[in-house]
Chains A and B, each alone.
Chain A
Amino acid sequence: MRKEQTLTWWGRFVDHDVTYSFLHSPVTVIASIVTVLMIIAAFCAPVLTSYTPFVPGSLNLLDAFMPPAWEPGGVSEHFLGTDGQGRDILAAIMYGTQVSLTVGLLSVLLSIAIGIPLGIIAGYNGGWVDTAIMRIADIQLTIPPILIALMIDGVTRTSLSSEVHELVAIPVLIVSIGLASWPQYARITRSGAMVERRKDYIAAAQLIQTPTALILLRHIFPNVVGPTLIVATIGVAVAIIIEATLSFLGVGVPPTTPSLGTLIRIGNNFLFSGEWWITLFPAFTLVVLVLSVNLIGDWLRDTFNPKLR
C-alpha cells in the first residue's frame, strides 16, 4: 500500500485548479452565493433594516402577531409578520442569524482547535499520552453538552454580576459548546493518525530525522483532517441546534437577544395555534443556512482530499 503523494496542503492548493472545479459545480456556486448573502444580511443587519429587535424599548406589544404582508391583516412594514412581542420577524431573523453563526462557527473552531491537535498527538504517540488524552475525552463525552453548558452558565451566573453575565452570555455558550464537542474530533483524527503512522512514508520521514512537529503538521494532519471536516460542517449545525436546545432549558442566549434557534424554540409554542410564520421562517432560514454550509463543506472535502485526486 504505497502512498500516492505526500504534498503539503499549500502545495496541493496551488497545484489544483480550484477555480475550474468550483465553477463546474453549480450546486456549490449556488450554496456559496446563498451563504455569502446570509452572512452579509446577518452582519449588515443594522444597515439593512431599521428595526432593532434586540432593543426591548423599540418593540410595541400592539404590533404583536401580525401575519406576513401577503396574508389578510398583514402590513408591508412587517414583510414576514411579527412575533408575540411585536418583533419584526425579518429583522429578528437577520439579527438571530448573526448570533447563531457566531455561536456555531466559533464553537466549532474551538473544538477543532482543541480536538485535532490532541487527536493527532494521541494517535501518533500512542502509549500513556494516548491513554491520558483519550480518557479525558471519555470523561468529556460522558457528560452531555447540555449539562456542561448548564454548569458553565451556572458558574458564571453566580460568580459574575448580571451585567457582566449578559455581556459574556454568548462567549460562555461558545466555550460550553466548543468544549463539549472536541472529543469527537480528537477520536476521529486519532484513529486516522494511528493508521497513518504505520505507513512507510512516515517511517521514511522519521529515518531522515524530520522533526516530529513537522511530521505531524505536514504528513499526518493533511491525511487525517478529511473525516473531521465532515463532522465539522455538520458540527456547525449541531452547535446551532444545541444552542436552541439550551434555550429550551432556559440557559441559552437571553430571550431579549434571540438567536435563530431561540426564535424557533419560541415559535414552537405557536405551531398549533395558527401563527405559523413565527416558527417557519426562522426554521426555513436555518435549514437553508445549514444546507449551504454543508454543501460547501462537501465540495471542499472532495476537492482537497489527497486520496481523491
Chain B
Amino acid sequence: MFFKSKPLILAGLVLGAVVTQTAVPAYAENVLRYTNVGDAPTLDPHALNSLVTLMADVQMYDALVMRNPDMIKVPGLATSWKNIDPNVWEFKLREGVSFHNGNPFNADDVVFSIKRAQAETSQMKGYVNTIKEVKKIDDHTVQLITEKPNPILLDQLVNIFMMDEEWSKEHGVETPQNFSGKQETYAVRHENGTGAFKLESRDPDVKTVLVRNENWWGNNTYKHNIDKVVWTPIANDATRVAALLSGEVDLVTDPPLQDLNRILSNDKLKVEKTSQIRTIFFGFDVKSDELRNSSVKGKNPFKDVRVREAFYSAIDINAIKRAVMRGMSIPAGMIIEPPINGYKAEWDKNRLPYDPEKAKVLLAEAGYPEGFSVQLDCPNNRYQNDEAICQAAVGMLAKVGIDVRLNAQPKTQFFPLITGKGTDFFLLGWGIPTMDSGFIFDYLLHSDGSWNASGYGTPELDAKIEAIRGIVDVDQRNKMIEEIWIQVQKDMPYLPLHHQVIFWAMSKKLDIPIEPNDMPRFYWATMN
C-alpha cells in the first residue's frame, strides 16, 4: 500500500532538500553582519534617549564633539572649541562637510539641531536644557550660551546629533515624533546625517543595511574597511548565540554570560571584554514609616542603618560572582565605576566583608533577633542574570533570618515600581552617560530624584547636589562631590553589588575596539 511508506518518503524528501550545505557567499566587499537583542525603535536622533537608538544613529549621524575608543572627547563636526566666557562656548565647525543627500553642513544646521533637541517632544532635552541661546556667528562658527556655567556641556553634546535643516523642513520633521499624531514621521525610518555610513534599507526588527559613506570627513582619521553593515536583531538568547556559532553573524554585543566558554571553544571566534559603565545594587526604602510587604508593622526596619549594614554583610558577593556571573563581574563598594568623575578606588575595592555572624548581631542590636520578612522586587529581563542574582540573595539573607519573598517581573511592570516609588527593597542598575557623579546624584540621591525609590535624601545633601550643578571650578566641585559620597558611603541607602562587564563575541576576522558605553562604532572596525 502506498501510504505505508509515505511518511518515510516525505522524510526523505525533506532531508534531500536540506542536505545542501548553506554555502557562505564569497563577498567581494567587507560585510559586517551584526546582531543584538533588539532593534532601535526609531532612527530620529532626538525622539528617544535609548542606548540602541544612539548606537544606530552614531553610525549615520555625527555630533559636534565625539569620543574616541578610549572615551576621550575628540573633535567631531566641530574642529575646536573654547570657553570665551563662563557662560559662552564658541565652536569652530568643520568645513567642506556634506550630508548624505549632498547638502552642505553649516552653522544653520547646528542652530536648527540644538533647537530641535530642545523641543517639547524631544527626549534629548535633558542634555541641552542649560543652553539658553544658540548663536550663528558665521557659516562655520556658532556660540552656545548657557544660563549659568555648565561644567559638563561638552559631555552632553556628545549625544546630540546634527541634522540637516533643509531636509528636515522638506520632510516635515522639524520636531521629533509626537505620539499624538497618528502618522509616522519621515525621520523614523530615514536618515540624512553626515556620518560614516548611509542607510541603504530599513526593515525594523528584521534587517537594516548600512553602506560606507565614501565622502565621510572621518575616513582619513578612522581607517575602517567596512563596506556594508547588515544588522539583524535576534531576540532569543540561545538563537543569537547559535547564529554566531554557525557563522551567520560576525558580531554579537550581548551574548549570555554562561555561553562565553562555548563561544571561546570555537576556534573561529573570540570574545572582547571591558568593564561597563553600569553598577548593579540593591536599594532600601529608607523613607516610608512602614514597609508595604513586611512582617514588621508600625515601623520601617530599613530606617535603621544597622539593618542596612546587616543586609550588606549577609551578601556573599564573591559567590554571586563565581556562580551567577561566571566570574564576569567586578564586585563593587560604590555605586559608580571608573571612569566616572567622583569614583574612588579605595572605597570601591573595600566592600564590607561577607560576615553572616556580624549580620545576625547587627539585626539583634537593631531589635530583630529573629529577623523579619520583606519583599524583594526584581526585574527579570533587564540586567545580566538579574533574576538569578536576586534568587541567590534570597538564599543568603535567609541564612541570617531574613525571609525574603522574591517578586521577579518583566521590566515593564518593574520600572513603574521604581519611578512610582512603590517598593520596599529592589534591585536596580545605573549607568552614567555624562561620566560625572552629578548625574547619579540628581536621579538617585536627591530627595526629588525621579528614580530615587529609596526616598533617601536630607536638606543638606540636596543643597550640595543642587550647588554642584553650577560650579565650574573643578577642584571646588570635586571636593563637594567627595563630601556627598562620604555621606552616602556611610548611610548605605544602596547596597552595591557589582559593576557589570560587557562582552562582545565576534569572528576572529573582525577587529573592533570595545568600549564601556556598549556601543559598537562600525567605523572603528576592520575586517580581514
Contact = CB atoms under 8 A, between A and B. Distances in A.
A touching B, CB within 8 angstroms:
yes
Interface of A: 55-62, 64-65, 84-86, 161-163, 166, 249-251, 254-256, 268-275
Contact of A57 (B237, B259, B395): B395
B410 A61 contact: no
B238 A271 contact: yes
Contacts of B241: 272
A272 B396 contact: no
A250 B408 contact: yes
Contacts of B395: 56-61, 85-86
Most chain B CB within a 10 A radius of its CB, from A86, A251, A272: A272
B324 A61 contact: yes
B259 A273 contact: yes
A61 B261 contact: no
5 tightest Cβ-Cβ pairs between the two chains A and B: A57-B398, A64-B323, A61-B319, A273-B258, A56-B395
Contacts, number: 84
Contacts of B407: 162
Contacts of B324: 61, 64, 84
A208 B94 CA distance: 100
A88 to B, nearest CB: 14
B262 A273 contact: yes
Contact of B391 (A255, A268, A270, A273): A255
27 contacts: A57-B395, A58-B395, A60-B395, A61-B319, A61-B322, A61-B392, A84-B323, A84-B324, A85-B392, A86-B395, A161-B293, A250-B381, A254-B406, A254-B408, A255-B391, A255-B406, A255-B408, A256-B406, A269-B238, A271-B238, A272-B238, A272-B241, A272-B245, A272-B262, A273-B256, A273-B258, A274-B262
A268 B237 CA distance: 10
Interface in B139-156: none
A162 B388 CA distance: 20
B213 interface: no
B161 to A, nearest CB: 35
Contact of B261 (A62, A166, A256, A274): A274
B410 A166 contact: no
Contacts of B391: 56, 85, 255-256
B394 interface: yes
A61 B396 contact: yes
B396 A163 contact: no
Most chain A CB within a 10 A radius of its CB, from B242, B258, B322, B375: B258
B34 to A, nearest CB: 20
Contacts of A85: 323, 388, 391-392, 395
Contacts of A268: 238
B103 interface: no
B215 to A, nearest CB: 43
Nearest to B410: A250
